[in-house]
Structure 1
Amino acid sequence: MKIVGYSDRLSAVPGSELSFMISCTEPRFSARLVRLRHGDTNPAGPGLKVLPVPSDIDGDYDGTAQEIRTGSYVRVPRVDALRPRQGFSVQMWIWPTLPDRGTQTLISRRTPQGEGFALRLQDGLLTLQVGDSTFSLSSPVRPRTWYFVAATYDGSSGVRLVLRPSSGVTIGLADEAWGTIAPAGATVETDVVIGAETVGSEDGTVIGRGYNGKIDAPTLFTRSLDDNELARLEDGERAQLVSDAAGAWDFSQGIDTWLAHDISPAKNDGTVENQPMRGATGHNWTSRHEGWPHAPEEYGAIHFHEDDLSDAGWEPTITWTVPEDLRSGAYALHITTDGAEDYLPFIVLPPAGRQSARIALLMPTFSYLAYANERLAAPGGMFAGAIKNYPHQEQDEYMIETGMRSLYDTHVDGSGVCYASWRRPLVSVRPTYRYPYMNNGEGGPAGLAADLRIVDWLDEHGYEYDMLTDIELNDEGVERIAPYSVVLTGQHPEYVSGKMIDALQDYLDGGGRLMYLGGNGMYWVTELDEASGASVEIRRRGPADRTWDPEPGEAYLSSTGELGGLWRYRGRSPQSWLGVGYYGGGGAPGRPYERQPGSHDPRVSFVFDGLGDDEVIGDFDSLTNVWGAAGHETDATDPKLGTPEHTIVLATASGFDPAHWDVVYEERINAVDPNVKHPRGDMTMLEYPNDGAVFSVSSTIWVSCLSYKGYDNNVSRITRNVLDRFLSGGLLAPEA
C-alpha cells in the first residue's frame, strides 16, 4: 500500500486530541475529514457514501514511509552490573515451537556492531556468541519439549553449554560441551533483550531474530557457575542462588501486566513488548490446575512469537483536536496520494454526560478488532486456497506482506492469536473493504462497512442518534447508555466483555429498549486488556466453531484471569437475556422470514404494521448478493439455554440448503437427536420489567436489506415500526 495508517484511538469526544500515524511512500499526500454514512461500492445499492466535513485537518502533508516490525520480546534497560569480560552465566527453561526456523535469539545483551553476547537457537542448535566468537552444541532441540538450558563463560577457562530435557522420552536429547572462544571485548552498555536481539540502529530500537516458543525463569549471573550451582538451578533452587544475579525474571508474577519482574536483589525489571502470550504453562506445570489464577507459580512462562504485534510504534504524522461542535457519528481521515487512498476510521462520541439524541447506535469495536487483518485464506492459513481470487484487494496483500494477523489466525508456529490491538493498521476495518468469504468468495461488506448501512438508514429516515462504542460501554457501564430510550446494536456484535453484558442487562432491567440488529451476538468471552489500554484478549475454547485451540491449561485470559470460550459455558448464554443465540451459518443462499402465530399477539402486532398477514419478509436480494434477509449467521431460541418462556417468536427463516448451511458445532454435539437440528433464524420480541424490551432480528445480513428498493421494503418497514414504537413506548401501545 502506497499509503496506510491508523489512529491512536477508535473513539474520541469533542475537544480531545487524536493522533494519526501514517506511512506514505510518496513525497506528499493529502488528507481530509469525512463522515462515513454507507460502506461498500456495490452498484446494486447506495454505494459508498462519504461526506466531506470542512476541517482544519484538511490539507497536504509530507509523506514518510514507516515499517511494520513484528516480534515479541522482553527489554531490560542497561543491566550495568553484567560485564562479559569478567565472566557470566545464562540459564533458562525453553519450549521451542519452530527450532529449525533459522536464527532465533533466546537472550542477548549485544549491540548491532557485534559487542556483547547472544544465546540463540541456530537451525535448532544451542549457540552462544560472545563478541565475534561462537560456540555451539551438536544435538538439535526437539519442538514442543521443555529443556533446561545454561551457558557459562569465563575469559580464562572458556565456555560451557548445557542442554537437558526436563522430562518425557529423553534418550539422545541431552547435550553438553566445553570449549574456548576468544575473550570478550570491552564492557557493553546496552539493554538485555529476552526472546530477540538488537539487529539495527545505533539506539537499539530495531529488534529482530525473534524466538518462537516459551521461555521460563531466565536468569543472568555476573560469574561463571560451577556444576553444583547448575544442578541446583535445574532442581528448582533458583531463589537460593540469585543473591548475586544481574537479573532473575519471574514471569509468573504480574501475569496481568506487561512487566517482567526481577526477583534478584538487582531489581532489574523489564517491559514485555508486543504482547507475547502470558499465562502460559511453565516447565513445572503439573496439570493439576487448568488456569494460572489457581496456581500462578506453575505459569512462569511467556510464549513468544516472531509475528506478535501490539503497537506498530509509528511516529504521529498528524495530531488533531476534535472540534467541540462536531456531531457524534462515524468519521475517517481520508488520505490520498498518487492514485492510492486509505480511510482511517474513528467514532466521535457525544460529550461526556451529554446526550444529543434519544437513540444510541453501539458500534461493535471489539468485533472489529477480532476480525481485523484476518488472513485465513492467505498462504499458510487454515483456508489457504479456498478462495480462488484471494488476494483480490491491496489490503489483503498488505496483511500478507506485513505478517499482521487477526484473532482468527494462528502464529507461524501454529499457536492461536489471542490479543488484538488498535495501535496498528486495521486495513480490513474500512468502509470500502470486502470480506473475502462473503458471497461465495466474491467478497462482501462485514463489520464496519456493514454497520454503516444502519447509519445510512437512520440518516435516510431522519432519525437523530448518538454513536458509542464497546469501549465506552465496557469502561463506563450502564451509566453511558441509561439516558437513551433505544440502543441499537451493529450487525455482528460477536465479541463482548462481561462488563458489557452487565451494562446491557442493567439497561434492560431499568426499562431500556434494545434492538439487536444482527446475528451471532454476545458469543465469545472477550476482555479489554487494561494493562496495554489498547487491545482485547480472547482464548478460543470448545466446544464451539473455532479456528484454533489453546494449549492445555492455557484457556484463561492473562488480562483478567477469566476462563475464555463461549459465554454460554460461563452460564451467560445470549438466549437467557436476548431470547436468541447463535444457531447456524453458511454460504449462499439465504432465506426470507415467514410470520409465526406470535406475530399476531396484540402486544407485538405493531411490528408488522403495513404488512400483509402472510407476507414473506426479506424475500429479495441483499447487498451481500445473498438472497433473503436471513443469511450468513443466524440465531434461534432455545429454552434449554435459557430463552425465557414469554419470548415471542415473531417470524422464522428456515429451509436453508444443507449443502451450504449447518447448525453450529456446539448445537450439533449437544443435540439429543441431530436430525431435528435444522438450521433456522428466529425474529423475536422479549419483554423486560419497567417497559423494557429486546427486539432481535437474528441475522447478520438483515441490515444489508434495509436499502433495497429505495429503502421501501418490508425489512426497512419492520425496523422502522419497532424503532418508532420503542421511542414512544414499550410493547403495548402508549394508550393501552
Structure 2
Amino acid sequence: MIVGYVSDEHYLALADVSIEFMKDEKLVGHTKSFMSGAVESDLPAGNYRMTFGKPGYGSKHVEITLPVKEPIKFRLLSDKLIGYMWPKWSVSGEKSTIRINSAASCRVELFRYGLKKESHGVVTWLDEHGPRAMIQMLPDDDISQTGVQFSRVGFPNPLMIWRLTAPEESGLYYIHLENEAGEFWSMPWVVAPKKPKAKIAVLAATNNWNAYNNFGGRSNYINDEGLPARPTINSRQDLARYLGTATSQMYPNDSYPPISFERPEYGNVIAKDEKVTDPMGGRLASTLAPGMWRLLGWLEREGYEYDVYSDAQLRDGTLDLDAYKVLLTEMHPEYWYREEYERVRDWVFERDGRFMYLGGNGIDCEVEYVDDSTVRYLTDHTDAGTDMGVWLEGKERKFDNRFHKTYESPAKLVGVIFTHVGEGTAAPYECRNSDHWIFNGTGLKNGDKFGEKSLHERVPGGASGHETDKRTPNTGEGFISLAMGCNPGEDSGAEMVYKDFPGKGGQVFSTGSITYISCLLVDEAVSRITKNVLNKFLQ
C-alpha cells in the first residue's frame, strides 16, 4: 500500500528518504522512498508515528493512521537559507516577524532600498540552544494554500520569535540574511507611512509577486488548478505546461484553490552587492520587487519624495488616495483586487486623481480576497484577449482581459490593454505627437526613436517590451496617442497614451510596457518624459 509521496519545497520527488514507523514507542517498520517519492508499507491498521530523514533536509515526525484514505503529500524542507517577513507589508510603527530557515547561526541586517541601499544596522543574530533549531518544518500537503507556517512548531515562547518594528520612513525595505555557512538571502518588506508624508504614492504589486511565486510547487502559472496527486520528477515530462495538454487559466474561476502570501519568494531576492543601476538578470527579477527598486531609485535620483504601499493596503483603505496628488504603479501590476481598482477609478474619474500607469499587462486579472494571508486569482481567460485561441486561431474576442470578464474593462481607466502581439520582444518607442507637452525638453520630433537603453536583460532592446498594451474599442474618447513601440510585427508595440478627464476628473498617463521602468535610470528621453508627467501631475 502506498502511504504517500515525499517531496521537497518545490514539490519535486525525493528518493532514498529514510523512514521509520513507530507504534507504542517501538520500532515496527522502516523503509525508503522510491524515485517517485512513493512510500510503501504493509503494516496493519492503526496509529503510527513516522520519522523522515535525508541528508541536506530537515528531519521530522508525522502522526498517521493506517490505512490512509488517499496518499499523503509528505513535505521536507531543504537546509538552504531562506526566509520571509510576516506580514510582508506593514505600517510604520507596526511589528513584523522575521521568519527564516537556516542550518547555521544567521546575521540579520535591515536596509532601505532607494537610490542606494541604506543600512539601518544589524538587527540581531538568529540562533538557538538546540542543534539545528533554526531549521523549520513544512506542513504536509499543499503549502501553496496553507503557507509554510514558519516559526509555529516548536516556538512556545514569544521571545523565540524576533519581531521588527517598521521604521518611520516609508519605503521598500529589505532584510539581509547571512549565516555562518556562507549563505545569503534577502527578502522585501513594504513599509507604508503612519500618516502620508509625500505627494506621490507608489503601489507595490504584491499580488503579482505572489502570483509568480511557485514556492511549494504551485503558482498561477504551474499547477494553478491545484497540486497533482504525485510530485514532479521531471518538469518537462510531468507538468501539463510543458506537455501541451494544459488548459491553464481556462478553468472556471471557482475551481482555482487559493494561494498564500506566507511563502519565501525566490524571485524577489536581490544580491548583496547588486546596485540599482545594474542590469536585471534572471526570469522574474525585472517584473517583481527588483524591478520596482529601479523606479524608487530613479525617484530619489530626481529628488522626488514618495510613500510606498502594497496592493492590500490600497484594498483596505490604508492608502488614502485623497491624501496624494499622484499614484504610480511599478512595471507589472497584473493582478488587482476589485476594491483597489474601484478606489483608483473613482479617484481619477471624480476627484482629480492623477494616475501614472508605468507598466505593461496591468489590471489584467481580478484578485479575490480570502483572508489576510491568502487570495484567489480569478484567472479564467476563456474568450478574453489573452486566450490563445483569440490570438492564434481567430476566435471571437468577447472581453479585453480577465478583469473585464469578471468586472469591467480597465481600458476606460488606463486606455490600453495587453495583447500577445509583440510579447517577448523589446524595442524603442517612436514619437508620434512631438508638440505635446509630455515631450518638452526632449528634442524629439515625430518619427524619432527613444527608449533605447535598458537594464532589462530578459527582454533587452528598449522601453517598449516584454508585454505590451494597446488601445481597444473599450478605450473610449479622450485618450491621446503619444508614441508607439517599434516592436517587430504589426501593431505589436506598446502605445503610450494620456488623458485629461473632463469635469472633476483627473489625468492618466500610460506607458503600456513592462520594460519602460527598466529604462528610467539609463535613458535620458524616458527619464525626461516621466519627469514632465510627474511635474505636471504634482501641480
| TM-score, with structure 1 as normaliser | 0.51
Give, in whole Å, the separation in 2 of the partners of 1:4 and 1:344.
9
Give, in whole Å, the separation in 2 of the partners of 1:696 and 1:705.
15
2:106 is matched with which residue?
Answer: 29
Pair 416,36 (structure 1): closer, same or farther in 2 beyond 3 Å: farther
CA contact (8 A) 2:81 2:102 kept: yes
Give, in whole Å, the separation in 2 of the partners of 1:713 and 1:627.
15
Deviations 1:512-557 (A, max 9, x none): 1011000111110111113xx211102321124369xxxxxxxxxx
Deviations 1:411-441 (A, max 9, x none): 9xxx97542211222222333499xxx9998
Shift of 1:621: 4.0
1:458 is matched with which residue?
Answer: 299
- SS, match of residue 149 in structure 2: coil
**1:68 has 2:138 as partner:** yes
Pair 424,308 (structure 1): closer, same or farther in 2 beyond 3 Å: closer
- Pick the aligned partner of 1:618 from 451, 454, 462: 451
One-letter amino acid matched to 1:66: Q
Deviations 1:6-62 (A, max 9, x none): 222121112211112211112x11111111237xxxxxxxxxx5331126x234533
**1:538 has 2:352 as partner:** no
Shift of 1:488: 0.4
One-letter amino acid matched to 1:422: F
- Pick the aligned partner of 2:91 from 13, 33, 57: 13
**1:630 has 2:470 as partner:** no
2:431 is matched with which residue?
Answer: 595
Shift of 1:636: 0.9
Give, in whole Å, the separation in 1 of the partners of 2:402 and 2:250.
19
Pair 459,585 (structure 1): closer, same or farther in 2 beyond 3 Å: farther
2:536 is matched with which residue?
Answer: 725
Give, in whole Å, the separation in 1 of the partners of 2:285 and 2:268.
13
1:550 is matched with which residue?
Answer: none
Pair 308,16 (structure 1): closer, same or farther in 2 beyond 3 Å: closer
1:345 is matched with which residue?
Answer: 188
Give, in whole Å, the separation in 2 of the partners of 1:546 and 1:416.
18
2:35 is matched with which residue?
Answer: none
Pair 620,582 (structure 1): closer, same or farther in 2 beyond 3 Å: same
CA contact (8 A) 1:440 1:587 kept: no
**1:333 has 2:193 as partner:** no
Pair 505,409 (structure 1): closer, same or farther in 2 beyond 3 Å: closer
One-letter amino acid matched to 2:534: L
Pair 721,516 (structure 1): closer, same or farther in 2 beyond 3 Å: same
Give, in whole Å, the separation in 2 of the partners of 1:330 and 1:686.
30
1:581 is matched with which residue?
Answer: 417
Give, in whole Å, the separation in 1 of the partners of 2:100 and 2:441.
50
Largest Rg, 1 or 2: 1
**1:54 has 2:121 as partner:** yes
Map 1:506-525 to 2 at 5 A. 506-508=346-348, 509-525=350-366
Give, in whole Å, the separation in 2 of the partners of 1:719 and 1:645.
23
- Pick the aligned partner of 1:695 from 497, 509, 530: 509
CA contact (8 A) 2:88 2:190 kept: yes
- SS, match of residue 426 in structure 2: coil
1:123 is matched with which residue?
Answer: none
Deviations 1:491-528 (A, max 9, x none): 11110111011100121120010110001111101111
Shift of 1:385: 10
Map 1:204-353 to 2 at 5 A. 309-315=145-151, 318-322=161-165, 326-337=168-179, 338-351=181-194
- SS, match of residue 314 in structure 1: coil
CA contact (8 A) 1:592 1:618 kept: yes
CA contact (8 A) 1:519 1:698 kept: yes
Pair 620,546 (structure 1): closer, same or farther in 2 beyond 3 Å: same
Shift of 1:605: 1.8
Shift of 1:442: 6.9
Shift of 1:443: 6.9
CA contact (8 A) 1:649 1:682 kept: yes
Give, in whole Å, the separation in 2 of the partners of 1:497 and 1:58.
36
Shift of 1:618: 0.8
Pair 713,318 (structure 1): closer, same or farther in 2 beyond 3 Å: farther
Give, in whole Å, the separation in 2 of the partners of 1:36 and 1:410.
38
1:300 is matched with which residue?
Answer: none
2:493 is matched with which residue?
Answer: 680
**1:427 has 2:278 as partner:** no
Give, in whole Å, the separation in 2 of the partners of 1:23 and 1:623.
31
CA contact (8 A) 2:151 2:161 kept: no
Pair 618,346 (structure 1): closer, same or farther in 2 beyond 3 Å: same
CA contact (8 A) 1:328 1:467 kept: yes
Shift of 1:588: 5.0
Give, in whole Å, the separation in 2 of the partners of 1:369 and 1:442.
15
CA contact (8 A) 2:256 2:376 kept: no
Give, in whole Å, the separation in 2 of the partners of 1:359 and 1:449.
20
Shift of 1:313: 2.0
CA contact (8 A) 1:410 1:416 kept: no
Give, in whole Å, the separation in 1 of the partners of 2:281 and 2:177.
31
- Pick the aligned partner of 1:362 from 182, 203, 214: 203
1:141 is matched with which residue?
Answer: none
Give, in whole Å, the separation in 2 of the partners of 1:310 and 1:611.
54
Give, in whole Å, the separation in 2 of the partners of 1:422 and 1:716.
33
One-letter amino acid matched to 2:427: R
Shift of 1:645: 1.3
Shift of 1:703: 0.5
- SS, match of residue 471 in structure 1: helix
2:71 is matched with which residue?
Answer: none
Shift of 1:577: 1.5
CA contact (8 A) 1:33 1:58 kept: no
State how many pairs are aligned: 407
> Is there any run of 5+ residues in structure 2 with no aligned partner, and where?
1-78, 153-159, 223-233, 389-398
Shift of 1:684: 0.4
Pair 646,372 (structure 1): closer, same or farther in 2 beyond 3 Å: same
CA contact (8 A) 2:145 2:257 kept: no
Shift of 1:382: 4.3
Give, in whole Å, the separation in 2 of the partners of 1:410 and 1:308.
20
Give, in whole Å, the separation in 2 of the partners of 1:430 and 1:585.
30
CA contact (8 A) 1:357 1:464 kept: yes
Pair 593,441 (structure 1): closer, same or farther in 2 beyond 3 Å: same
Give, in whole Å, the separation in 1 of the partners of 2:281 and 2:121.
40
Give, in whole Å, the separation in 2 of the partners of 1:59 and 1:480.
37
Pair 443,370 (structure 1): closer, same or farther in 2 beyond 3 Å: closer
**1:649 has 2:447 as partner:** no
Give, in whole Å, the separation in 2 of the partners of 1:410 and 1:309.
20
Give, in whole Å, the separation in 1 of the partners of 2:269 and 2:255.
24
CA contact (8 A) 1:70 1:309 kept: no
- Tell me the C-alpha RMSD between the 2 structures: 3.3
Shift of 1:308: 5.1
Shift of 1:449: 1.1
One-letter amino acid matched to 1:61: D
One-letter amino acid matched to 2:187: L
- Pick the aligned partner of 1:501 from 341, 346, 354: 341
| TM-score, with structure 2 as normaliser | 0.69
The share of aligned pairs that are identical, in percent, is 26
- Pick the aligned partner of 1:706 from 507, 510, 520: 520
Moved more, 337-346 or 314-323: 314-323
